[in-house]
């Protein structure tokens, strides 16, 4: 979930250079493009040459549990930077491959090594908290060559928030030691008393090994090959690099195959769309982290590679039809981390679902409040919604029974502390000045405002959160009914209906023909047209006629840019297409809006969103969907304008196309009837036929294709296993 670009008190509509807490600065663009790898709690950011910290810009490093264990790793040949031939992350995101060659090497003004003679191939992956690299060398020249290959390295042990730009007055102590013949230890004793170490190992042993550089004098005969192995371990036992390099890569492949064996897959008639879908699936499973509670999708790289409640829940919802195991891991983990006591500094109250957790030094010292932070108003109702959706998808009552106490605690929070003024609506107000000032998904300091641009003062009731609370109570009623708690189920349905009526009374604004984004602390509506009411449509809380108006408005040009629907409509007071939340385009936001459009009979709008996202991503590196991009209108022959500090990959962005496919096809699961149903399916022209494989329901599974056909669609069932029926329902109003 997006984190705030600034956290500060309300400010007038004038430029301000005041640096706010947790602001993520955007400076010059990196001089080399960046690439990411992740494995469980470890991730790394490299440049296009495979180096770390060798070029200006970027947030390079090897990170583990919010600490940077390697801030510099640079390959040089005779003291010069190699020339780049090609670099790419492989399709399944398991390793990074870079092809380099030598530049012209001069000694005393004479060329001693012609460029393009030595091929340098770097293969890098992450495993068990360590970076592992193989450097392959081959002489393609007709004569023997001799050169010096060096690897410069360093570790600053910076906290992730330091890397983001927060300045610290004091830091701990660092030191290093050479461990002959082939190792170096880099150490840091933090102010929290924790020892953090990076162990480096080189094989074969370098010609010269120092505290910050390993050098090899290499002689290669014509066509001779040689390999150097490097390991940088952030924790645990330092592996033997030669043996572990190949074994570790094979292990990663086995783990990925195991993690995805029950997941469905999607294929279309369009090769570019297929590339986007494949990259998105690879990104999602790279961001999955094995926890004691099961798989959990970490939010994004580089800033949010940790457990976030809202992000994990929405990603699990988007992927529920593809792989229900993700939702199971999210439900269990967030139940275990649910708040049990009041803590204003952490914005915690009994029953609240986690917003964010951090494991770095600054969190341990409370220099940032995010060790376990609960400053989110929507994660708690979203959690209950996910539980109900999981039961609908799988029929797995045993997991619902397991997490039912957490569901009841969440509902108690909604009934009590979440309704700050007792008016039946859900509001938020931060418990301490160090917390987030806005606590919905648009959590920038300036994302909730009035029509004249004034920032809303709290407690604030967000429009979409009322929808989430409504849907949560209906979802909980279904769970309660399944558990035999009939009276509890009836009470929840009655609560949901009261909230629906209150919602219509307070949020609809006749003067703008739209729902307000929020009510401020005086219950004055913020009469601004934003994407937020589209989330409310997805929950079904909106009256049918008003929902249809909102759906139609979202598809007009002041919202719809050609690349997607903007977070704020063009012309509103704080609209800025280059902002984080006030006019940009978020793929996950658009996927949720598409759910609302489909629910209120605007399926053609869903097709438009899907095709816009696919066309936008066709311009992007690696066909990877980023966290967001700018809200400028689409121009012929030009791709979308990128947002400079966007995370890429981002879990709920990567999951967006799978959610859109479900919305277009109207995928619905009925475990009790052993039926997969397609309600009013539509197929975009861009995709052509859509084939879903290994779609599971209980122990059964199926492969089927949905084709466009004259006057509608055609369903072709390719395979079924077990007791399962695939059906299509066309309602007359669509």
Structure confidence by residue, pLDDT tens digits, 650-663? 999 999 999 999 99
Percentage of the chain beyond pLDDT 70 is: 94
Q: Mutual orientation of helices 544-554 and 532-539 as an angle, nearest 10°?
A: 140
**How deeply is 522 buried, as exposed, middle or buried, from its count of CB atoms within 10 A (0-12, 13-18, 19+)?**
exposed
* 24 part of a folded domain: no
pLDDT at residue 637 is higher than 70: yes
In the structure, how many helices (H) and strands (E) does the chain have? Answer: 16, 34
Tens-place pLDDT, residues 349-408:
999 999 999 999 999 999 999 999 999 999 999 999 999 999 999 999 999 999 999 999
- What integer is the mean pLDDT of 669-687? 96
Give phi and psi for 533, each to the nearest 5.
Answer: -60, -25
CA dist 494 and 424 (Å) reads 13
Percentage of the chain beyond pLDDT 90 is: 88
CA dihedral 645, 651, 653, 655 (to 10 degrees): 170
For 231-266, letters b (16+ CB in 10 Å) and e give bbbbbeebbebbebbeebbeebeebbeebbeebbeb
* 26 part of a folded domain: no
pLDDT at residue 3 is higher than 80: no
pLDDT of residue 19: 39
Average per-residue pLDDT for the chain: 93
Q: Which of 100-109, 255-264, 397-406, 704-713 has the highest mean pLDDT?
A: 397-406
Work out the angle at residue 132's Cα, subtended by the Cα atoms of residues 358 and 285, and round it to the nearest 5 degrees. Answer: 55
| Boundary (domain end) residue, out of 256, 289, 306 | 256
Same domain, 220 and 343: no
**How deeply is 681 buried, as exposed, middle or buried, from its count of CB atoms within 10 A (0-12, 13-18, 19+)?**
buried
* 22 part of a folded domain: no
Q: What is the DSSP string of 378-406?
A: SHHHHHHHHHHHHHHHH--HHHHHHHHHH
* 109 part of a folded domain: yes
Same domain, 232 and 306: no
- What integer is the mean pLDDT of 27-42? 81
pLDDT at residue 4 is higher than 90: no
Same domain, 431 and 567: yes
CA dist 728 and 715 (Å) reads 8
Which CATH number do you get for residue 456?
A: 1.50.10.10
* 506 part of a folded domain: yes
Q: Are 99 and 182 a contacting pair, CB within 8 Å?
A: no
Work out the angle at residue 92's Cα, subtended by the Cα atoms of residues 609 and 259, and round it to the nearest 5 degrees. Answer: 95
pLDDT of residue 644: 87
* 392 part of a folded domain: yes
Same domain, 705 and 574: no
pLDDT of residue 21: 53
Nearest CA-CA partner of 616 in 641, 592, 595:
641
**E strand residue ranges, 506-551:** 508-509, 514-515, 518-519, 525-526
* Start-to-end CA span in the chain (Å): 33
pLDDT at residue 638 is higher than 50: yes
- What integer is the mean pLDDT of 214-221? 97
Same domain, 321 and 434: yes
Beta carbons within 8 Å of 136's beta carbon, 6+ residues apart: 119, 120, 121, 122, 123, 225, 226, 227
Give phi and psi for 678, each to the nearest 5.
Answer: -110, 115
Split at pLDDT 50, 70, 90, the class of 22 is low
Report, in angstroms and rounded to the nearest whole number, the Rg of the chain calculated over CA atoms. 27
* 19 part of a folded domain: no
- What integer is the mean pLDDT of 574-591? 97
pLDDT of residue 469: 98
Same domain, 526 and 541: yes
Work out the angle at residue 398's Cα, subtended by the Cα atoms of residues 393 and 399, and round it to the nearest 5 degrees. Answer: 65
CA dist 404 and 398 (Å) reads 10
Sheet bearing 225-233, strands edge to edge: 83-89, 96-101, 118-127, 130-139, 225-233, 195-203, 183-189, 173-179
| 319-to-278, 348, 352, 660 alpha-carbon distances in Å | 14, 28, 23, 10
Residue 464 CB neighbours (<10 A)? 29
Same domain, 334 and 240: no
Residue 290: alpha-carbon gap to chain centroid: 16
- What integer is the mean pLDDT of 303-314? 97
CA dist 394 and 320 (Å) reads 9
pLDDT of residue 244: 79
Same domain, 599 and 690: no
* 17 part of a folded domain: no
Split at pLDDT 50, 70, 90, the class of 507 is very high
CA dist 619 and 642 (Å) reads 10
Beta carbons within 8 Å of 654's beta carbon, 6+ residues apart: 279, 280, 281, 283, 284, 287, 624, 625
| Boundary (domain end) residue, out of 644, 665, 686 | 665
Tens-place pLDDT, residues 132-173:
999 999 999 999 999 999 999 999 999 999 999 899 999 999
pLDDT of residue 30: 55
* Enclosing domain of residue 695: 675-729
Residue 696 CB neighbours (<10 A)? 22
pLDDT of residue 110: 86
pLDDT of residue 236: 57
CA dist 668 and 671 (Å) reads 10
CA dist 294 and 297 (Å) reads 10
Same domain, 101 and 223: yes
| Boundary (domain end) residue, out of 237, 256, 275 | 256
Split at pLDDT 50, 70, 90, the class of 711 is confident
- What integer is the mean pLDDT of 403-431? 97
Tens-place pLDDT, residues 69-112:
999 999 999 999 999 999 999 999 999 999 999 999 988 888 88
| 567-to-584, 612, 631 alpha-carbon distances in Å | 6, 15, 8
Which CATH number do you get for residue 132?
A: 2.70.98.40
Q: Are 185 and 199 a contacting pair, CB within 8 Å?
A: yes
Same domain, 516 and 613: yes
pLDDT of residue 239: 62
pLDDT at residue 329 is higher than 70: yes
Same domain, 356 and 389: yes
Same domain, 639 and 697: no
User: Considering its fold, how many domains does the chain have in total?
Assistant: 3
pLDDT of residue 158: 96
Residue 59, both tokens: 């947030």
**How deeply is 700 buried, as exposed, middle or buried, from its count of CB atoms within 10 A (0-12, 13-18, 19+)?**
middle
Beta carbons within 8 Å of 313's beta carbon, 6+ residues apart: 330, 334, 353, 379, 382, 383, 385, 386
């Amino acid at each position: 979930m997006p984190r705030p670009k600034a956290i500060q008190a309300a400010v007038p509509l004038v430029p301000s250079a005041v640096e706010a807490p947790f602001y993520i600065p955007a400076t010059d663009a990196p001089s080399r493009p960046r690439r990411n790898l992740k494995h469980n709690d470890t991730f790394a950011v490299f440049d296009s040459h495979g180096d770390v910290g060798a070029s200006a810009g970027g947030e390079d490093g090897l990170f583990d549990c919010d600490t940077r264990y390697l801030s510099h790793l640079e390959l040089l040949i005779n003291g010069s930077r190699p020339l780049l031939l090609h670099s790419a992350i492989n399709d399944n995101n398991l390793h990074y491959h870079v092809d380099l060659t030598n530049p012209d090497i001069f000694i005393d003004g004479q060329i001693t090594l012609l460029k393009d003679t030595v091929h340098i191939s770097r293969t890098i992956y992450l495993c068990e908290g360590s970076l592992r690299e193989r450097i392959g060398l081959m002489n393609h020249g007709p004569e023997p060559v001799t050169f010096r290959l060096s690897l410069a390295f360093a570790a600053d042990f910076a906290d992730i928030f330091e890397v983001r730009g927060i300045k610290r007055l004091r830091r701990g102590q660092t030191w290093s030691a050479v461990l002959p013949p082939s190792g170096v230890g880099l150490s840091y004793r933090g102010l929290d008393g924790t020892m953090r170490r990076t162990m480096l190992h080189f094989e074969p042993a370098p010609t010269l090994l120092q505290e910050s550089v390993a050098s090899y004098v290499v002689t290669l005969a014509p066509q001779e090959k040689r390999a150097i192995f490097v390991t940088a371990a952030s924790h645990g036992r330092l592996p033997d690099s030669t043996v572990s390099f190949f074994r570790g890569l094979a292990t990663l492949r086995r783990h990925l195959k195991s993690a995805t064996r029950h997941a469905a897959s999607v294929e279309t008639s369009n090769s570019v769309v297929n590339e986007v879908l494949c990259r998105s699936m690879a990104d999602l499973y790279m961001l999955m982290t094995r926890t004691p509670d099961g798989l959990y999708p970490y939010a994004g790289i580089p800033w949010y590679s940790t457990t976030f409640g809202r992000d994990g829940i929405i990603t699990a919802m988007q992927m529920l039809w593809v792989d229900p195991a993700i939702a199971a891991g999210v439900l269990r983990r967030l139940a275990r981390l649910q708040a049990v006591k009041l803590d204003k500094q952490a914005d915690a109250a009994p029953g609240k679902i986690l917003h964010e957790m951090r494991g770095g030094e600054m969190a341990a010292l409370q220099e940032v409040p995010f060790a376990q932070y609960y400053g989110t108003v929507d994660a708690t109702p979203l959690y209950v919604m996910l539980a109900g959706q999981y039961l609908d998808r799988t029929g797995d009552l045993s997991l619902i029974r397991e997490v039912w106490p957490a569901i009841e605690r969440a509902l108690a929070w909604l009934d009590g502390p979440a309704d700050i003024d007792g008016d039946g609506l859900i509001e938020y107000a931060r418990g301490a000045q160090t917390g987030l000032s806005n606590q919905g998904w648009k959590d920038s300091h300036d994302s909730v405002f009035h029509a004249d641009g004034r920032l809303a003062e709290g407690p604030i009731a967000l429009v979409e959160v009322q929808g989430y609370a409504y849907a949560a109570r209906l979802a909980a009623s279904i769970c309660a009914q399944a558990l035999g708690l009939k009276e509890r189920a009836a009470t929840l349905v009655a609560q949901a209906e009261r909230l629906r009526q209150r919602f219509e009374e307070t949020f609809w604004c006749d003067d703008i023909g739209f729902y307000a984004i929020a009510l401020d602390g005086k219950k004055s509506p913020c009469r601004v047209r934003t994407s937020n009411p589209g989330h409310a449509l997805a929950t079904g809380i909106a009256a049918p006629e008003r929902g249809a108006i909102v759906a139609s408005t979202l598809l007009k040009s002041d919202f719809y840019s050609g690349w997607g629907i903007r977070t704020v409509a063009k012309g509103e007071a704080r609209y800025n297409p280059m902002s984080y939340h006030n006019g940009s385009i978020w793929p996950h936001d658009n996927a949720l809006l598409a759910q609302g459009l489909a629910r209120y009979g605007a399926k053609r709008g869903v097709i438009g969103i899907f095709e816009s996202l696919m066309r936008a991503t066709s311009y992007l590196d690696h066909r990877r969907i980023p966290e967001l991009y700018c809200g400028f209108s689409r121009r012929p022959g030009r791709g979308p304008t990128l947002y400079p500090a966007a995370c890429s990959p981002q879990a709920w962005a990567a999951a967006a196309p799978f959610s859109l496919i479900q919305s277009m096809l109207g995928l619905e699961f009925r475990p009790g009837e052993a039926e997969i149903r397609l309600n009013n399916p539509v197929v975009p022209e861009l995709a052509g036929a859509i084939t879903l494989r290994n779609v599971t329901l209980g122990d059964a599974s199926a492969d089927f294709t949905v084709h466009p056909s004259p006057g509608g669609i055609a369903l072709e069932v390719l395979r079924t296993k077990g007791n399962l029926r695939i059906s299509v329902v066309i309602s007359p109003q669509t």
